Amino acid sequence: MDLKTVLSQLETAAEGDAELLLQQYSRENTQTFAFDQKEETLRIKLCQSVLTVLGRQVHPSCQKTCLETLRILSRDKRVLAPVSTREGMVILLRMARLRAGQEENEDQRSSQGGAQSEEEERVVVEALKCLCNVVYNSPAAQQVSVDVQLAHGLCASLHNGSTCHHEVGLFTLRLLFLLSALRPDVRGVLRCELHAVKLLTEVLEHTLDVRWVGPYEAAHPGPQALPMPAEDNERAMEALKALFNLTLSEARGEEDNHQFRVIAAILRHLLMQKTETEDKTEEAHSHAVNLLNNLPVSCLDVLIDVPVRGGQDEYGGKNLEAVQVLIDFMEKRIDKQGSNYKEGLTPVLSLLTEGSRCHREIRRYIKAQVLPPLKDVKNRPEVGSTVRNKLVRLMTHVDMGVKQTAAEFLFVLCKESVDNLLKYTGYGNAAGLLVARGLLAGGRGETQYSEDEDSDTEEYKSAKPFINPITGHVEEPMLNPLEEMTEEQKEYEAEKLANMFDKLSRQNLIRPMGVRPDGTLAPLEETLCDPPEENSESDSD
């Protein structure tokens, strides 16, 4: 339908006719996401006309149709001027039942037995969808006071439990996620004034059907538990994303510690659950990992401080089931073809690294899974299909962040011992980490670890003298190319090689480097200088 025709008829149309006009426009444009720039002015006028209709006392069916049209139009950030005004936002807040004081009206309606009809619920859903588009597409267009009013309305909606309708709950949480992500000035209000972290934790607890059996211990779902329903999973993911935004702040008080431990316990419960599809389970675990990274590392003990099933006490009575889920998740992300390692893998590597650094039982368990006692010394450390092989390959990844995170993870598993790391990876693979940490001369990192010793296998002990420290494996004997050369040929080749290096050095393509006594790199000429002689003390006065 021609947009000019819609506008001309809409100006004088009665409620029913206006509804029919907008229904037809919405049907024709329901899949439109790229708009004709020439009609931009006309679409702005249509936005204003729709808001005018919504400002009247029209029936829910007409409200729903108007909001459907507005949802389509709000996909175009260039036409949102009428909607982004205070008046436009107030209309949408009223339609979404997010205005201050509206909750009391809802309570009064419920006490009088007047439950919302399905059509009224659809009006709320469409209004929430419009608000999601507006918040997403016009981050700088709204007044802070309206954003704060929206935040108050969303938290009140969660507090009053008025999100039992699936789509209402889903888009309320999605709008809260967008607001916390795109409005930094409102994030503090949500966190400190409206206690949104506690509210979202309660939503997550209810959605996941957490049943507490201890202060920070949820009942284990068990192997026979049914998969999490798709609708519950959708709401949980939106709550997790909003919680991630609100826990990014470094400003934390002691009073937050309990709340963070509750969140960690709920996330452990989530890690032990399955959804209806493997992809959805992986998505849930990904959001759980992201949120766990925001919590203080001291709270990660909640993941393992639950009774061990089966009576095994190998790791001091700690239950490592959740840690095993994280290890499995890490390996899936490594194996995922064409995945973005920086976004998909580094969060779980960082989480396992910090958990291992600060919690001895977590480190010991992961070390046993990832770096078991070394037996295979015939193959290079990066060759093979074990988790160790896969992680060593990542130590030379083209992405600097991925490379550093993988190397740091293995370094911590080795208790930050250079000798221990080289045993599992070889010097060539570990060189990048050692340069960055100033440990080329050997030694240890700064973290203090327990004194439990690693025992070498007999296979490794017998092969150790023959292992090439650079490649990290026993190499097949190679013929010495110098054996068949005359002294003159050797001298010629040496001179030729020296000239090539000199040429590259003068062109600044390479720079010969050496290692200082403190393990850091320096230009070769500096490392070759004689160290200053120490003054000897004289016996005479």
Burial of 329 (0-12, 13-18, 19+ CB in 10 A): buried
Looking at 35-49, 69-83, 217-231, which range is the least confident one? 217-231
* pTM, full prediction: 0.87
Mean pLDDT on 319-342: 93
DSSP class of residue 304 equals T
Structure-token match 């050797």, residue found: 490
Of the listed ranges 197-206, 254-263, 285-294, 531-540, the least confidently predicted one is 531-540
Q: What is the DSSP string of 479-510?
A: --TTTT--HHHHHHHHHHHHHHHHHHHHTTS-
Backbone angles phi, psi at 417, to 5 degrees: -100, 125
What is the rounded distance in angstroms from the CA atom of residue 539 to the CA atom of residue 224?
A: 83
CATH architecture of the domain 1-107+116-142 equals: Alpha Horseshoe (1.25)
Strands 473-474 and 467-468: antiparallel
| 468 vs 128, residue with greater confidence | 128
Can you give 190-259 as a three-state secondary structure string? HHHHCCHHHHHHHHHHHHCCCCEEECCEECCCCCCCCCECHHHHHHHHHHHHHHHHHCCCCCCCCCHHHH
Distance CA 461, CA 54 (A): 80
Greater model confidence, 252 or 261 = 261
3-state secondary structure of 25: helix
Q: At what angle do helices 196-207 and 144-159 cross, to 10 degrees?
A: 40
Please state the rounded mean pLDDT for residues 336-355: 93
| The residue to which tokens 């062109």 are assigned | 507
Q: How confident is the model at residue 66 (pLDDT cuts 50, 70, 90)?
A: very high
Whether the per-residue pLDDT at 469 is higher than 90: the answer is no
- Report pLDDT for 67: 97
pLDDT tens for residues 358-374?
999 999 999 999 999 98
What rounded mean pLDDT belongs to the chain?
Answer: 87
Query: Which two structure tokens, joined as six digits, stand for 536?
Result: 């000897």
397 three-state secondary structure? coil
The string of pLDDT tens digits covering residues 77-99 is 999 999 988 899 999 999 999 97
Residue 279 has pLDDT above 80, yes or no: yes
CA–CA dist 418, 430 (Å, integer): 9
What residue spans define the domains of the chain?
1-107+116-142, 371-474, 487-525
State the Cα–Cα distance between residues 349 and 407, nearest whole angstrom. 10
In angstroms, the Cα distances linking 321 to 193, 269, 324 are 37, 11, 5
Q: Compute CA 187 distance to the chain's CA centroid, rounded to the nearest angstrom.
A: 18
pLDDT bracket for residue 48 (50, 70, 90) = very high
3-state secondary structure 320-332: CHHHHHHHHHHHH
For residues 272 and 326, what is the distance between their CA atoms, to the nearest angstrom? 10
Measured CA to CA, the distance from residue 15 to residue 20 in angstroms comes to 9
> CA 331, CA 188: separation in Å to the nearest integer?
37
Pairwise CA distance, residues 95 & 73, whole Å: 17
Say yes or no to pLDDT of 142 above 60: no
Task: Give the 3-state secondary structure of residue 430.
Answer: helix
Give which of 361, 362, 341 is closest to 351, Cα–Cα: 362
Average pLDDT over residues 316-325: 93
pLDDT at 454: 65
Q: To which H or E segment does residue 403 belong?
A: helix 400-413
- Per 3-state DSSP, the chain is made up of helix, strand and coil in percentages (nearest 5) of 60, 5, 35
| pLDDT score of 104 | 42
Mean pLDDT for the stretch of residues 175-182: 95
